[in-house]
Structure 1
């Protein structure tokens, strides 16, 4: 199937179609038709009565229906003078009744039309009434995103790129909301826990409700209300507290629960000890990671082949790059050199020794090196600390003031320091000079940068991992100040929310020596991918299948003869231009027709 190209698939055409649909839906047709029928009916009665009365006797001029309509309109606007009125009193009732009734109806219609034209054609006047009209007239079988903060903003942007039908709910206006409105996302401003607000967003017609405000209790309330109003919708919930996940899934009939901080914290944690997680997977009862392991100057891997490393470390090397060359399923005889990178699938528990093995032959054992300082003990910082504790690392927690999560860490015997983290004295007191790494993950981007620069001034060789919301700005800061790793928690977590919302496709982007590649995880549907052999996909340029899972069986790499079945999961490495094609091929026939494919 090919999608319609050119103007009829352009943004301008799509906007025109949307505006036309809203016009057809919200124009005051009932009032307009009622007024028209009133005029035509009155004209018919006036014509009939006029010709019965015959003003002027036998010499009167027969009144046609068209002239009767004209006369009624003239009477409505007081265009009928005394001289124009027929002799006798039989027709006076029309001159008395028609003007006030007609004027009221015309005024009522006029006000409605003017109001509609104002919101339909003057973009600056498009307030909530327009947003509600767009949802009511054009959106169905859609995804509702409750909470358009940093996570919701990212999720909405990715779903818009996939051309998914969407509606958003946010309590108050914000610059992020303004950006989404400019991208044609209809947004309802209001409390998402309120039934009326959800109804304005089309909750009864929604296929998925994604709840991602930054307050757990609010999210629970929204999920409960959404489930009451729509029993069939898929509900994806953002939640911090792991302990209640199973209870919430059962009690609220929630399809997926995701913790932004839990997803993001893994990347911060392993970046702090020198690794890089590209993607995490839970397949069956095991957790896997796709990680990039750089080959350091003193790595024991130097001089060994990929096959030797694979056998010794019990790992699967899915691709390898040297310089700007990326090789999928590399030759086991390939000799490793300093500066090379291995992209490896392994279980999460094998990751730490693998990182240490790759970086240096004299990496000190866990616990013997200096502490890792974690600045900002919010949701992300808390999880980074607990992850590091699980890896037997020394950790010191820092924050501006005590908090609930800080108290939890105190109960775990984590050393805590409070104060202005931008001050040298606070960092020195926390042990910055002896620290192995610094993780800066407060909610304030500017504060994060100030802390990172202050720490680097005190210890130039310190490994620094920093949190920044804007990806592009983060990359510029990383290069400018030579920060080891910069992450956006919302960018890290957004693909998981998108995947859960669609119940299908998860995409991560990785730049390999400036070459952008996408790691795509998808679940096969009854689509064009059904019954396709893996070998056929492997032969396509820009597409390589890295993993295939069916039930509890996971194959890395998959057998070339394997044919895809509904429910199978595959992980592929794809060039960016292949993403749209891959997404299209995994759509059902009904979905393709709904999106304009022929």
Structure 2
């Protein structure tokens, strides 16, 4: 176990400081240690199990607020190579980044920030800063698992839009086959030939006819909720959604109808009222709005007592029904803007949990042109307004309940994505959804990567994803100075698109591209030399200072590419 005094850490040089020790912080720390980086962790209110795990990896831990200059000095900010800030608060992360910049203007800063607009401005403010959103990094993996064959991820490289697309290696415009994923989950990286491969394709496939058809289908299905609000059909649709979403309303309505039916029969049989008048009289008694034109003044005593009881019971049941309907409307059970999940919607994705991850997943699904509906327990969630602005029907309710899932047309859905912050709730939602629709594809968010793998095997769930495990490699690679362009999910793993700059002191200068591609886990996609762009450059090409490379690799593969290049660098070069 590595322990250091405060004074010792203050004088440490060339290390990486990680601020924050949640799941993402611990996974990022693990990635950095695998890359051979010396690390110091700043943690204030971290779980003791995480602190123990960090120390077991050989990282020193400084306890205190990451926005406190004294704590940053204690962690050796003056000699640090990089500062990785992975706490969840955007404002606090901005505060820490500004403090670190003042203490060491040369330090590389990697910041976790959900607000990407603010993040872009922050990158312009600092000399060497990378702003990353863990939810934005992880969302494509969730969407890829949800849509399976029907989703194409876009990657922008050197101002050119590329697409990660499933197809044949022989298809036109294929730059590089990325992987073959067999039915048993076995993944083969960078195959030379084959069908049904995950390929990197030149061009934006979202403009193709089949994508346009999917987009129109999504607009039609997502627009049903708004168009059905018009006229009597909209009222009926809203009432039906209320009844589907709340079992109490269904039982009360059935009780009310049963009382009314029995009363109509009694008045029809035991009085000289006809059928229509019996119905009319029953309604006026239950609603206590009788006009006096029909009464039981001359009726037998038993019938009078029944009429009195009907007034009391009917009024009580009707009042309770009104209360529950009002509660459902006021609590926005079907959304404050009156969204209605149409009973005819089918082939849609159900996203459970409209938090940071759920919102990013919904954005990607809408962009892919696939119909999607959402459910969120917290009606005050900050992410509900932007989700509704995308035209996505949104239900307020508990996704674990079968009544809620039924209201989301889970029987006709193609996939459910359980993306709340609660592992147990996500698992329960997935199992209940599978019970209602055994053919449903299920994607579950689980925080612990090891638990995610075990849940996937034990419960026959198609895909379990850990946001921390998906995002951590990107944060770690950014910390060592490589610019991550995108990540894409391949089977149970992740491929990283990164840009490598060949600088004056770079070990890559003078090395051949074949050196980088010596292993099976990485390939060079693009060589930029001045104004020249070479896609899939020849393996014998020798790299020179000023070259820029875009590579795609696994996280260990990228580390090996850098190590192999350093080992193969010409002797005598400084």
TM-score category, normalised to shorter length: 0.5 to 0.7
Alignment of 1:446 with 2:319, yes or no, is no
Alignment of 1:233 with 2:107, yes or no, is yes
The alignment's C-alpha RMSD in Å is 3.8
547-556 or 394-403: bigger deviation: 547-556
Alignment of 1:154 with 2:27, yes or no, is yes
CA contact (8 A) 1:279 1:508 kept: no
Indicate the structure whose relative CO is greater, using CA pairs within 8 Å and at least 6 residues apart.
2
Superposed displacement of residue 450, structure 1: 0.8
When residues 317 and 452 of structure 1 are mapped into structure 2, their CA distance, relative to the original with a 3 A threshold, is same
CA contact (8 A) 2:137 2:487 kept: no
When residues 413 and 463 of structure 1 are mapped into structure 2, their CA distance, relative to the original with a 3 A threshold, is same
Q: CA–CA distance in 1 between the matches of 2:20 and 2:521?
A: 35
Aligned position for 2:297: none
CA contact (8 A) 1:533 1:561 kept: yes
CA contact (8 A) 1:524 1:565 kept: no
Match of 2:548 among 522, 547, 568: 568
Alignment of 1:476 with 2:335, yes or no, is no
Superposed displacement of residue 205, structure 1: 1.4
Secondary structure in structure 1 of the residue aligned to 2:383: helix
Aligned position for 1:492: 470
Q: How does 1:307-386 map to 2 (within 5 A)?
A: 307=170, 310-311=171-172, 314-318=173-177, 321=180, 326=188, 328=190, 330-331=192-193, 336=195, 341-346=196-201, 349-350=204-205, 366-367=217-218, 369-386=346-363
Superposed displacement of residue 217, structure 1: 0.8
Superposed displacement of residue 505, structure 1: 7.6
Aligned position for 2:384: 406
When residues 520 and 405 of structure 1 are mapped into structure 2, their CA distance, relative to the original with a 3 A threshold, is closer
Aligned position for 1:270: 144
Q: CA–CA distance in 2 between the matches of 1:586 and 1:244?
A: 36
When residues 437 and 365 of structure 1 are mapped into structure 2, their CA distance, relative to the original with a 3 A threshold, is farther
CA contact (8 A) 1:283 1:549 kept: no
CA contact (8 A) 2:6 2:75 kept: yes
Larger Rg: 1
Query: What TM-score do you get using the length of structure 2 for normalisation?
Result: 0.67
When residues 569 and 444 of structure 1 are mapped into structure 2, their CA distance, relative to the original with a 3 A threshold, is same
Q: How does 1:282-293 map to 2 (within 5 A)?
A: 282-290=156-164, 293=166
Q: CA–CA distance in 1 between the matches of 2:496 and 2:91?
A: 34
Superposed displacement of residue 489, structure 1: 1.0
What whole-Å deviation, never above 9, does each CA across 1:56-105 have from its counterpart, x for those lacking one?
Answer: xxxxxxxxxxxxxxxxxxxxxxxxxxxxxxxxxxxxxxxxxxxxxxxxxx
Q: How does 1:458-537 map to 2 (within 5 A)?
A: 458-504=436-482, 521=498, 523-525=500-502, 526-535=505-514
Alignment of 1:203 with 2:83, yes or no, is no
Alignment of 1:583 with 2:562, yes or no, is yes
CA contact (8 A) 1:145 1:156 kept: yes
Secondary structure in structure 2 of the residue aligned to 1:433: helix
What whole-Å deviation, never above 9, does each CA across 1:171-201 have from its counterpart, x for those lacking one?
Answer: 1131222200121211111111111111111
Secondary structure in structure 1 of the residue aligned to 2:83: strand
Q: CA–CA distance in 2 between the matches of 1:288 and 1:211?
A: 30
Superposed displacement of residue 330, structure 1: 2.5
Aligned position for 1:419: 397
5+ unaligned residues in a row in structure 1: which ranges? 1-14, 20-129, 294-300, 593-598
When residues 353 and 439 of structure 1 are mapped into structure 2, their CA distance, relative to the original with a 3 A threshold, is farther
Aligned position for 2:536: 557
| Alignment length (residue pairs) | 435
Q: CA–CA distance in 2 between the matches of 1:421 and 1:563?
A: 56
5+ unaligned residues in a row in structure 2: which ranges? 222-345
Q: CA–CA distance in 2 between the matches of 1:179 and 1:429?
A: 43
When residues 406 and 569 of structure 1 are mapped into structure 2, their CA distance, relative to the original with a 3 A threshold, is same
Query: What TM-score do you get using the length of structure 1 for normalisation?
Result: 0.64
Superposed displacement of residue 469, structure 1: 1.7
Q: CA–CA distance in 2 between the matches of 1:511 and 1:394?
A: 24
Superposed displacement of residue 239, structure 1: 0.9
